[in-house]
Amino acid sequence: MLAATGVVAGILAGLLGIGGGLVIVPALTFILRSQGVETDLAVPVAIATSLATMLLTSASAVWFHDRRAGVHWPTVARLAPGVGLGALAGAWIATLLPGLWLGRIFALLAAIIGIRMLLNLKPRPGDQALYPRAWPVAGPAIGALSAVMGIGGGSFNVPYLVRCGFAPVRAVAIASACGWPIALGGVTGFVAAGWGEHLLGWSIGYLYGPGVLVIGLFGAAAAPLGVALAHRLPADRLRRIFGLLLMLVAIRMLW
């Protein structure tokens, strides 16, 4: 089941350019709950593990984008500290919330993302010079929300950057680069919060070792397949289909 989760997350990441956390968190929560893990532990462990798998996938995506000169590094330099610190705070907040409420927060935010994908809503480009406006506030907010959901932040970062005047392709590249400090900050927070506690077997803090290893490896291996399919299948129709599926996942998580 962990391997299947990694494959699906990797294919969707390559096919639609979405963060695998939208798949990994509900799937891993279901897997842990089916093994008898209580909700208050299963949800934060799923979120922390999802962030840990992104340390590898985000670095790979940044390398891919940078080879094509797509990453605007001055913008990354402005946003990275804020999103990293925001993710650190978001991880700490997530460990304080009951698992049921944490799952409901994920469901609400996932439903919003699903509606945007279902309706194929695209942010309106800004008409000002390229600059991450209000970045001291936007960076920490994006980092915190991303860490609470266990995602790389692209669902929040890309619309924000497009509104700041960046082309969508460049916005995706910048968001990919910002995904690494989000993952690092979130993982640090979850490890520190659970340090010294025996939460699950083969775990470090809230990180579930088998999940990080299996999902990460299979996700990285499957991502190129998603990229290949992206050149053959209608992306807009697929985004709508995934938006509908994400709405169903959100309802299930909320329930």
Residue 46 or residue 252, greater confidence: 46
| pLDDT at position 121 over 90 | no
pLDDT band at 130; cut points 50, 70, 90: low
CB 90 within 8 A of CB 144: yes
Phi-psi category of residue 45: left, alpha or beta, with phi > 0 → left and psi -120 to 50 → alpha: alpha
| pLDDT at position 129 over 80 | no
Phi, psi of 203 (to 5 degrees): -125, 155
| Residue that the structure tokens 């089916």 belong to | 34
Q: Residues 6 or more apart from 184 whose CB is under 8 A from it?
A: 55, 84, 87
> In this structure, is the dihedral angle defined by the CA atoms of residues 134, 139, 144 and 145, taken in order, positive or negative?
positive
**Model pLDDT, residue 128:** 56
| pLDDT at position 160 over 80 | yes
| pLDDT at position 227 over 70 | no
- CA 193 to CA 196: how far, in whole Å? 9
Using CB atoms within 10 Å of the CB of residue 232, give its burial: 0 to 12 exposed, 13 to 18 middle, 19+ buried. Answer: exposed
Q: Which two tokens stand for residue 246?
A: 């994400």
What CA–CA distances, in Å, run from 95 to 4, 9, 152, 241?
A: 27, 24, 18, 32
pLDDT band at 230; cut points 50, 70, 90: low
Among 136, 142, 132, 143, CA closest to 166: 132
Lowest mean pLDDT among 16-20, 147-151, 193-197: 16-20
Map out the domains of the chain as residue ranges.
2-254
- CA 145 to CA 149: how far, in whole Å? 6
**Model pLDDT, residue 185:** 95
| pLDDT at position 199 over 90 | no
- CA 252 to CA 249: how far, in whole Å? 5
CB 94 within 8 A of CB 44: yes
Total-model pTM: 0.85
**Model pLDDT, residue 165:** 81
| pLDDT at position 140 over 90 | yes
In the chain, the percentage of residues whose pLDDT exceeds 70 is 89
- pLDDT tens digits along 70-116: 788 888 898 999 999 999 999 999 999 888 888 889 889 888 888 88
- pLDDT tens digits along 9-40: 888 776 766 667 888 999 999 999 999 999 89
Q: Which two tokens stand for residue 111?
A: 């439903």
Summary mean pLDDT of the chain: 84
| pLDDT at position 131 over 70 | no
Does residue 207 sit in helix, strand or coil?
A: strand
| pLDDT at position 50 over 90 | yes
User: What is the DSSP secondary-structure string of 133-201?
Assistant: TTHHHHHHHHHHHHHHHTS-SHHHHHHHHHHTT--HHHHHHHHHHHHHHHHHHHHHHHHHHTTT---ST
User: Residues 172-193: what's their mean pLDDT?
Assistant: 89
Say how many C-beta atoms besides its own lie within 10 A of residue 106's C-beta.
27
